[in-house]
Amino acid sequence: MLNSLAAHAVVHWDVIVPKPSGTPPKELTDKIGALLGIVMIAVAAACVLGVLITAIKMAIAWGRGELGESAKGLVGVLIACVLAGSASALVGYAIN
């Protein structure tokens, strides 16, 4: 019985699958490249803004004498900047 069910399933799944040509349209790649470029600029701006905000918080904390807690925030922002920089390098390589 199992063999007949398997044979029946093969008959129903015998479908012709189209094969793509492998190259996307030029208009699509141009739009995706422009979008990824804008995202890369936004990520770089977010990294700079994160460092500036963390520096302001550290300056305020230094005046209060609580610098240790702010240093953790700076480490987190710098790790995020390294990850974003690595990702933007990979995206830049993929675009070109």
- Provide mean pLDDT across the span 21-46: 86
Q: What is the pLDDT of residue 49?
A: 94
What confidence category does residue 11 fall into, taking pLDDT thresholds of 50, 70 and 90?
A: low
In the chain, helix, strand, coil percent, each to 5? Answer: 80, 0, 20
- Please state the pTM of the whole predicted model: 0.65
Q: What are phi and psi of 18, to 5 degrees?
A: -70, 145
User: Mind listing the pLDDT tens digit for each residue in 41-67?
Assistant: 898 899 999 999 988 988 888 888 877
* 4 pLDDT more than 70: no
Q: Determine the pLDDT at residue 8.
A: 52
